[in-house]
Structures are given as C-alpha cells and as structure tokens.
Amino acid sequence: MTQEHNVTHAAGTALPSSSPMVRQTNLSLVLRHLRDHASQSRADIAETTGLHRATVSNLVSELLDRQLVREIGTEHVGAIGRPRRPLALHGAHVGALGLEINVDYISVHGSDLSGRVLVERRVGFDTIAAGPDRALRMLSQMALDAVEAMKRAEAVPAGLGVALPGLVDVARGVVTFAPNLGWRDLPLAARLSAALSPWSVPVSVDNDANLAAVAEHTSGVAAGTSHLVYLTGEVGVGGGIFVDGKLLRGADGFAGEVGHLPVDPGGALCGCGRYGCWETKVGLAALVRMAMPDQVYQPADLPVSDPEERATEIARGLAAGDPQMMDAVAQVGRWLGLGGSILANLFNPRVIVVGGYFATLAEWLLPHAQAELERLVVARSANHCRFIASDLGFGAASRGAASMVVNRLIDHPTMIMDPLPRLSPI
C-alpha cells in the first residue's frame, strides 16, 4: 500500500496525453512511487503503477530535467539485457519548511523534497506570556532565518507548514481553539503569510499530533504502517491516526482528539472543565503528581515547566529503582493501556507509537500499558496491536509539518515544475 494515495479515478484511455490533469496525475504517481519505495527502475515503476513503459520514460525524462528525480548507483542489466538505472527522489533545490509552536518552545525543521534535513532548530519560548502577536513575529523570524539557511544550501522553500497543539480548521488555516496556548479563532495562515511578505509561500496549519503522526508514518519506527495510532505524551495528550495509509481527519478536521476521552466519569477535574479525562490519568502532570508528590505541580506553572526535564528527572529516579516512582509509572502505564484498548477496539491499528515523555519513559511505562491493552481489548487473540516508543524525539511535529509540505508538492508536482523555465525551447 502506498501512503496518501489520493488519486481518485482512472484517467481512462482516450484523454490526450497532453491533458494537464493527466500529466499532473501521472507525474505525481511516479514521484509518490519513488517516495514510498527505495531505488526503482523505470520498469519497476511501470509495473507497479500500471502506466505504460513509454509513458514512464517520458515522465521520468521530464522529472530528470527538472532535477526532481535522479539516477542512482551503477547501471545494472535486467533479464532481457536492457539497462535498468535505479531512480530516486531528488529535488535538492526544492525546500519544505515545518514549524512547531508549543507551550514552551518553537522548533523548525527544513528538508528538501527527498527528506534530506537542511535545518533544525529549537528555541525556548513562553507562548502564553508572549501572546499571539509576539508569537507570530517570533514564528516569522524563525521561518525567515530558516529560509536563509536553506537558500545557502541552494534550496528554495516551496511551502511552509505550522504545527500547534489545538483544534485547527485546516482548510482555512485558522486555529479554532488551542487551550494550552490561549488562542481561539486565530487566522494563523493568513497572519503568518502577511508577516512573511514580500516572501510569498503557501502556508498551512495543522494539529501537532496529526503532524507528528505524519512524521512517524513517513520516517518513524513504524514508517509505512497503514493502520497506525500516534500518541504524544506531554502536559496534554494528543493523537494522530492513520487509517488505510491516510491521516484521519473526520468531517470537520477534528478527528483524533484523545486527550479528553472520558475514561473515568468519577475521576478528577480536568483543566478542560470535565471530569476523568484521559489526560488527567496519563498527562505528565498526573505522573509528576504521583511520582514526586512533594513537588507542587500547579496548573499555573505548566507553561514554564520543561516537560523534557521533568521526564528526564523521573527516568533517573526509575533507573535508581525509586519505589514511589515505580508505583506511579505502573499506574499511569495501566491507564495508558486502558485508553490504548479504546483505540485498539475502535481502529484496530497494527501499532500505537508513543512520543513525548511516553517515549522517554518507555522501558518502564510500556510493559504495564501493553499488559493492560491486551487484558482489555476485545479481539484478544487476533489483535496484535503493540505499543512502540517513537525515536523522533520532541521534534516530530515540525518534521511532520515539513513532510506534509513535501506530500502536498508530490501530489501537485506542477506547482514546482511549471514556474521553472523550459530547458528545451519548442
């Protein structure tokens, strides 16, 4: 199964090959194939895509001209004696820029079309204290700095994606509600575009967990898994869900909201005003409260506490065998497994990849979570769903934002082809 395969119909046999729709569709098919598979010959591409060999050769020639693909390795000779030069995605001159703005940091990740990392940076930033205006200035400054860095690597960003923790109207680029940032109804894409002027680039905005899930699906420990759930464990708990190789968005783009699943109607008050949300059981605050009860962990100090530092501190305690911490992590692990069983019952994913502090504490947390998942899931014998720790670190969302830009360019390759001058005049 290829990922993000959103061609929706067969182009038929009678359309002229010059049809712009067919050209875009077929160029995209070839690029997608090279994104999803290691070195492939033209014949491999023809076989898998169902395109005629002559068509593939023409498309590849065009993509080679534009340096969006390249020939790699040495020629090898196929069974019928024809040279089969392996191809790979290239586009070193096409940049994709991802930003993440979160409670206490902004991070940036720039890559070229093939996913080669060109720039990565993270700075501490108190987003709530700054407010939207200063946050926007900081975001645009970091974006422009990254553009300069990418230009030095001879790549021009062709798209910019922003990740943040909250509900996002993806079609309009508006942050509907981001409680942890204190933002509501903020037209982030439009405001950031204005701030970047005169530099003009398509700006998209998406939920951080969705984009981290994209990063996992593209280049994480379970990359390419068609049915994959990603959970981010920080102060809040976010989710991004892949179904049949596609990110699940739902009717309004708000699918995958896992943090406030009601898992214990008699439970504690959540920051959202409801009781017994999953976040009150498995969010970092819940763990800290149990593992380090002498440390006051008030909601008021959440924005400035560094989740990574807290997680590292607890990891040290666990490594030393601290019994209170061991007990706390067991309790949180069981609640993680209970919520995981809800996801497993509903989505039947192959894996649940966990990031954030869940990954930092994976060796202590996941055995409890896995046991509880297996105890609670209905299709017990048949459902081999496994918790796995992410290895992408806290930069998954900005990496995913860049991957999403790459995916969009690959879906609409003429966006990065037609503005270029034709190499051979007709």
State which of positions 379-398 bind its own copies (CB under 8 A).
379, 381-385
Q: Does 338 bind its own copies (CB under 8 A)?
A: yes
Distance CA 353, CA 220 (A): 9
Please select the residue that binds its own copies; options are 154, 252, 301, 306, rule is CB under 8 A: 252
Contact 249, 214 (CB under 8 A): no
> Quick one: which segment of 66-74, 194-202, 211-219, 371-379 binds its own copies (CB under 8 A)?
371-379
Query: How many residues make contact with its own copies (CB under 8 A)?
Result: 75
Q: Choose between 20 and 323: whose C-beta lies nearer to its own copies.
A: 20
Residue with the two structure tokens 């280049």: 219
Q: Does 272 bind its own copies (CB under 8 A)?
A: yes
Please select the residue that binds its own copies; options are 341, 370, 390, 398, rule is CB under 8 A: 341
In the beta sheet, which residues pair with residue 243? Answer: 246
Q: Choose between 219 and 383: whose C-beta lies nearer to its own copies.
A: 383
In the beta sheet, which residues pair with residue 232? Answer: 238, 355
Q: Choose between 157 and 238: whose C-beta lies nearer to its own copies.
A: 238
Contacts (CB under 8 A) with its own copies, residues 12-31: 12-17, 19, 21-22, 25-26, 29
Please select the residue that binds its own copies; options are 114, 128, 254, 331, rule is CB under 8 A: 254
Please select the residue that binds its own copies; options are 261, 282, 359, 406, rule is CB under 8 A: 261
Q: How far is the CB of 308 from its own copies (least distance, A)?
A: 26
Cis bond before residue 157 (omega within 30° of 0): no
Q: How far is the CB of 26 from its own copies (least distance, A)?
A: 6
Q: Does 323 bind its own copies (CB under 8 A)?
A: no
Please select the residue that binds its own copies; options are 71, 290, 348, 391, rule is CB under 8 A: 348
Distance CA 426, CA 413 (A): 21
Q: How far is the CB of 154 from its own copies (least distance, A)?
A: 33
Nearest CA among 133, 231, 137, 122 for reference residue 183: 133
Q: How far is the CB of 226 from its own copies (least distance, A)?
A: 7
| Burial bucket for residue 382 (CB in 10 Å: 0-12, 13-18, 19+) | exposed
Please select the residue that binds its own copies; options are 34, 45, 51, 396, rule is CB under 8 A: 51
**What's at 137, amino acid-wise?**
R
**What are the φ/ψ torsions at residue 345 (nearest 5 degrees)?**
-65, -40
Distance CA 83, CA 167 (A): 51
Please select the residue that binds its own copies; options are 190, 195, 223, 248, rule is CB under 8 A: 248
Query: Going residue by residue from 189 to 228, which x/- string records binding to its own copies, judged by CB under 8 A?
Result: -------------------------------------xx-
Q: Does 249 bind its own copies (CB under 8 A)?
A: yes
Q: How far is the CB of 371 from its own copies (least distance, A)?
A: 14
Nearest 5 degrees, angle CA 375-CA 378-CA 381? Answer: 75
Query: Going residue by residue from 138 to 177, which x/- string records binding to its own copies, judged by CB under 8 A?
Result: -----------------------------x-x------xx
Q: Does 110 bind its own copies (CB under 8 A)?
A: no
> Quick one: which segment of 100-108, 127-135, 252-260, 401-409 binds its own copies (CB under 8 A)?
252-260
Q: How far is the CB of 291 from its own copies (least distance, A)?
A: 21
Q: How far is the CB of 27 from its own copies (least distance, A)?
A: 11
Q: Where are the alpha helices (DSSP H) in 101-255?
A: 127-152, 188-196, 208-219
Tell me how far apart the 2 most distant CA atoms of the chain are, in Å.
76
**Sign of the dihedral defined by the CA atoms of residues 207, 210, 212, 214, in that order:** negative
**What are the φ/ψ torsions at residue 100 (nearest 5 degrees)?**
-125, 130
| Burial bucket for residue 216 (CB in 10 Å: 0-12, 13-18, 19+) | buried
What is the 3 state secondary structure string of 284-349?
Answer: HHHHHHHHCCCCCCCHHHHHHCCHHHHHHHHHHHHHCCCHHHHHHHHHHHHHHHHHHHHHHHHHCC
Q: Does 233 bind its own copies (CB under 8 A)?
A: no
